Structure 1
């Protein structure tokens, strides 16, 4: 039997998934795919073999299985790469492939599409559709994996509480439609990328030249094509080369002046250091700005909570609020939809549109806070195709 369970973030869904796997002995792949990487092996090929080694699978059989699963999951060119240096989507592929290589009788997946591109999604659809045993999928939003399942359960109030029919519980695909009267911003260049080249983790990005206009720009591409690398280079957080030292600049800034940006990484948990959400948002800024953003982003109920104790969807919004804390000119968001439930998707869309419209900067100023300048652009990555359409522009790597 195949079952799809949908419930909001913080409702105990991950605990339910783990408990089910423990009770039934099913192979379990949790939402944090990186936690499934053992860090005991130096290549993806060795990582994939780890579980089979513990089971005593003969070496020729292991090699044959790895060849097969690597081809199915697009991992063939990554077999000699360091498994700890992969992209978010590549890491999830390795985690799911490792579980399948043990030939489990049953399978439990917790939010398996987070960070996956369309190729990985197609591979997962094939796996779920053809898996001979029981498959249970837990997710925060409704998606097309549900169409493969015999039983669909939606719990907007939490796992096991007051299930609703499908039409009554929407999905992110329905949230990204522009309202009547919305129009694209003028195509005004605000970021110039000139022959950018980055060499990182046995991967080379570029040379790349492009123009980022005012508005919301979606950096698109398959897993591992360098989307995160590009954002890190835009933020000048990694070494890069180009026609000049400052290969990327705003048209309104002197070429030697640093870019005034806010940055929210995919791996948000490693970036938190304060004891409360309020203090975390105020880092590098002021408590006035933090309070204004807590109100704007709807984080009042968790303002005094440790960031790591906040449910994943609200925790992602906390990460975005931290990026907004100084009132930046540019907002760089790497896979900000990872971890979101339906309410989180709505909040993220409101934040991004509010940023480019100047609404957030006005809120900060109204509360007596400070900003770094006029808001110009949101540059973000996202593998949720329908939701990414809220962008004004698209740059494909």
Structure 2
């Protein structure tokens, strides 16, 4: 179905190709997982499937890419619209209408699908992705995860033969991600759709994949079964890392397979307890009392009170639309707040000018590109140093810790989603605010980048900062967070130490906890230290 023949892709002014002499064949009805570190070329590979690379992005493509026998060099991307459906990393950037139902129908209108067929497909897709109750909602009022499901649905209604998805579950809560992946696997098994998925949260997708395409970063692509490739790949989900540690062969890809083999490992861990980071909680840095946020008649945050202490990393979790982002914006002062008070060192951030508020409370939004406005990475870093009154090179050093090797002359809009997020994180962290609020901060980051990011957050916490992460990344929460607050329909429904909250939750438990339950092991590192 998809054939790459000696494909090399080089962008203007680049000294080395992003992809080099790639030969591979993806069969009809396969689910392919594309994996690799941030900036390794995954988005370029996906864009080449329907000709967006190089027709839209520029650069030079040598070799040939064929989809169902159709050569991308001979046909513009618009001629692949019916054949290849593409969902990018930023759903909002791809929307062209105002409401959910209109967006689902728009692609079919362009393909001249008869009205009676359009109506039927819209209803099927609303049910398939669980968004029927959102049909009349304006797209911009949806949460990031809801927008992502609508973006996938808008492509599915055209019934493409090939579906290309770039980070499709990155903004989804665990339950919603499972629903979307179940829908995708139904398309593969029942309709023979070929699906190519690039996803950093490999723990969600690996067990469903027929093939893993691994980009080591040198321009090549390794192709094979997930178990074969993950045996020595430098990016791997926690389950595979646990299998390597325990010496299991073949490596397990699902919690079910791992639990069947985990008896001896559980016996070895009997009587041992996880080593937890020792952080001394400082006094309260931010006190929020009875915060209320409304959008028309919808109450997004319902009288939430929250104390954030210095030296503590708090994970804010909950299903999509539960009010997490609204609460963060209300705490920072830039978003709406219809009731309640926020106190940071005797001041309310909402009453301060933006540059003063940023010193007290920093915020990285779900769409970090909104904070970038200069024409190069170096310019953004220099401006961040000036505004934060930090030493020259501070922001660049922070960026290199998160994602090393980004070209300083590149325009921020030309970066991958993960690189752009790392740049905004570096800019915000350079200011060293008293309170740091991060909305889905690990979207687009590979496992290595998340490890570095976790170390940076630990340093900030050690210096006395209070940190809040609104996230669906349960594996990162297990590694980084001291405390978990769970929201539902605008209310706080759980608040306590990480292990106590997540181990008891089927939805928010990390893979290691599921395999080794009922013991409160959360990460592979904890298990490794105990065995050592």
TM-score band, normalised by shorter chain: 0.7 to 0.9
> Counterparts of 1:84 and 1:277 in 2: how far apart (Å)?
27
Residue 478 of structure 2 corresponds to residue 348 of structure 1: no
Bigger drift between 159-168 and 224-233 goes to 159-168
How many residues get paired?
Answer: 372
Quick one: structure 1 residues 159 and 144, their matched pair in 2 at CA, closer, same or farther if it must change by over 3 Å? farther
> Counterparts of 2:372 and 2:34 in 1: how far apart (Å)?
30
Aligned to 2:210: 150
Quick one: structure 1 residues 202 and 95, their matched pair in 2 at CA, closer, same or farther if it must change by over 3 Å? farther
Q: Is the 8 A contact 1:218 1:381 kept in 2?
A: yes
Q: If the length of structure 1 is used for normalisation, what is the TM-score?
A: 0.84
Aligned to 1:313: 418
- SS, match of residue 263 in structure 1: strand
Q: Deviations over 1:101-129 (max 9, x none)?
A: 11112212122111111232112221222
- SS, match of residue 339 in structure 2: coil
Residue 128 of structure 2 corresponds to residue 94 of structure 1: no
Of 346, 352, 358, which residue of structure 2 is paired with 1:253? 346
> Counterparts of 1:340 and 1:59 in 2: how far apart (Å)?
41
Quick one: structure 1 residues 133 and 161, their matched pair in 2 at CA, closer, same or farther if it must change by over 3 Å? closer
- Structure 2: unaligned runs, 5 residues or longer: 1-29, 52-65, 68-82, 242-272, 488-532
- SS, match of residue 289 in structure 2: strand
Residue 331 of structure 2 corresponds to residue 234 of structure 1: yes
Quick one: structure 1 residues 141 and 122, their matched pair in 2 at CA, closer, same or farther if it must change by over 3 Å? closer
Residue 475 of structure 2 corresponds to residue 386 of structure 1: yes
> 1:100 deviation in Å?
0.8
Q: Is the 8 A contact 2:36 2:42 kept in 1?
A: yes
> Counterparts of 1:30 and 1:130 in 2: how far apart (Å)?
21
Aligned to 1:370: none
- Structure 1: unaligned runs, 5 residues or longer: 359-374
Residue 366 of structure 2 corresponds to residue 266 of structure 1: yes
> Counterparts of 2:459 and 2:210 in 1: how far apart (Å)?
40
Q: Is the 8 A contact 2:390 2:430 kept in 1?
A: no
> Counterparts of 1:158 and 1:28 in 2: how far apart (Å)?
25
> Counterparts of 2:346 and 2:482 in 1: how far apart (Å)?
23
- SS, match of residue 202 in structure 2: coil
Q: Deviations over 1:323-373 (max 9, x none)?
A: 122221001111111111222211211111111111xxxxxxxxxxxxxxx
Q: Please provide the CA RMSD for this pair.
A: 2.7
Higher RCO (CA-CA < 8 Å; seq separation 6+): 1
> 1:283 deviation in Å?
5.1
- SS, match of residue 165 in structure 1: helix
> Counterparts of 2:372 and 2:130 in 1: how far apart (Å)?
33
Q: Is the 8 A contact 1:197 1:240 kept in 2?
A: yes
Q: Is the 8 A contact 1:89 1:116 kept in 2?
A: yes
> Counterparts of 1:342 and 1:95 in 2: how far apart (Å)?
26
Structure with greater strand percent:
2
Q: What is the 5 A alignment of 1:73-152?
A: 73-131=129-187, 132-152=192-212
> Counterparts of 1:148 and 1:29 in 2: how far apart (Å)?
19
Q: If the length of structure 2 is used for normalisation, what is the TM-score?
A: 0.64
Q: Is the 8 A contact 1:13 1:159 kept in 2?
A: no
Q: Deviations over 1:261-307 (max 9, x none)?
A: 1111121112112342422422522351x523432442674473343
Larger radius of gyration: 2
